[in-house]
Amino acid sequence: MTERRHARRVRRPRAKPPPAPPPILRLGGTRPTARDLYHALLTMPWHWFFVVLAVGYFIFNGFFALLYLAVPGDIANAKEGSFADAFFFSVQTMATIGFGVMAPTNLYANIVVAVEALMGLAGFALATGVIFQRFSRPTARVLFSSVATVTRYEGVPTLMFRCANERRSLILEAEVHVYLAREEVSPEGLQFRRTHDLKLARSRNPLFSLSWTVMHPIDAGSPLHGVNTEKLAAQDGALVVTLVGTDESLSQPIFARHSYSAADILWGRRFVDVLGRLEDGKRVVDYRRFHDTESDER
């Protein structure tokens, strides 16, 4: 019983959010348009999404409340000039509640009610679609090691980092790409930021279920050949990692990303072993040591 509890406990890695990209000041760029609103509603945090939804809801009903107040006496059983009564009548109209206490009394009020009912129907449909899209959007829960290491593997200096699937479902045909981005100066003296593809020892994993150590041999053809921590930091170098695959349960593509700065790459270190077996022969992955490293001196 103790072994079972131990195995179940260590299979729960601590999730770490991906590092946020550094802020970039954009000068002379195009301004956001109405087309960007949908993307913003899908990507903003949930609490801000509901704040925007609530603000839009009150603005919508407040606008129609002012339209009802423009003509005195157009709402039966409402207090003369009462914004609260006009506002709540607008809420009932938009949501098609119809309590039967307040009702339009003239042609103007009926026209406003018809327009609000139509706009309310469209607004509810759009809000429902955005909420459903936020819930149904496939996301990956991939844990990346907090650091990358450079150690010798099969006699060759090798860049390594770990990634793990935090969900019980498999990621089919997972594929990892690693890029080195750094500042470079051309022979003509032009300075620009260049991205290099890093060739991996194994870039595809048909069934990504537990842990995966991604390795890049630093041979003579590698962009990291002859580079150390100080040189990489002087070049403002960083590793950009992307992982794509198909979620087995949803049958939809998922994406994950991570980045390592020059300070996150540890030279002369290697990851500690997280694979083992219990006394009953069961294999166990100890995610508690997922980010731990040790010196590669033997």
Is the model's pLDDT at 75 over the cut of 80? yes
Residues 86 and 105 in one domain: yes
For residue 51, the model assigns a pLDDT of 95
Q: Which residues of 1-40 are buried (b: 16+ CB within 10 A; e: fewer)?
A: eeeeeebeebeebeeeeeeeeeeeeeeeeeeeeeeeeeee
Handedness of CA 281, 287, 291, 292 (dihedral sign): negative
State the CATH number of the domain containing residue 162: 2.60.40.1400
Residue 273 has pLDDT above 50, yes or no: yes
Say which residue, 255 or 8, is predicted with more confidence: 255
Q: Do 160 and 188 fall within a single domain?
A: yes
Residue 13: inside a domain: no
**Which stretch, 34-43, 59-68, 225-234, has highest mean pLDDT?**
59-68
- Residues linked to residue 104 through DSSP beta bridges, in sequence order: 75
Q: What does the pLDDT read at residue 118? A: 93
Regarding whether 128 and 148 lie in a shared domain, the answer is no
Query: For residues 16 and 171, which has the higher predicted lDDT (pLDDT)?
Result: 171
pLDDT at 55 (0 to 100): 95
Would you say residue 23 lies in a domain?
A: no
Q: Count of CB atoms within 10 A of residue 287's CB?
A: 20
Two structure tokens written together for 149: 């290491």
Q: Assess whether pLDDT exceeds 70 at residue 204.
A: yes
Greater confidence (120 vs 278) lies with 120
CATH number at residue 101: 1.10.287.70
Cβ atoms of residues 236 and 250 within 8 Å: no
What is the residue range of 71's domain?
A: 35-136
- 9 domain residue, yes or no: no
Of the pLDDT bands very low, low, confident and very high (cuts 50, 70, 90), residue 99 is confident
pTM above 0.75, yes or no: no
Q: What's the pLDDT at 274?
A: 82
Average pLDDT estimate for 102-116: 92
Domain boundary among 96, 121, 136: 136
User: What does residue 216 show for φ and ψ, rounded to 5 degrees?
Assistant: -125, 110
Residues 250-272: pLDDT tens digits? 788 889 999 999 999 999 899 98
Mean predicted lDDT score pLDDT of the chain = 85
Confidence of residue 275 (pLDDT cuts 50, 70, 90): confident
Contact, 262 vs 237, CB < 8 A? yes
Domain count, the chain: 2
* Each residue's pLDDT tens digit, 54-65: 999 999 999 999
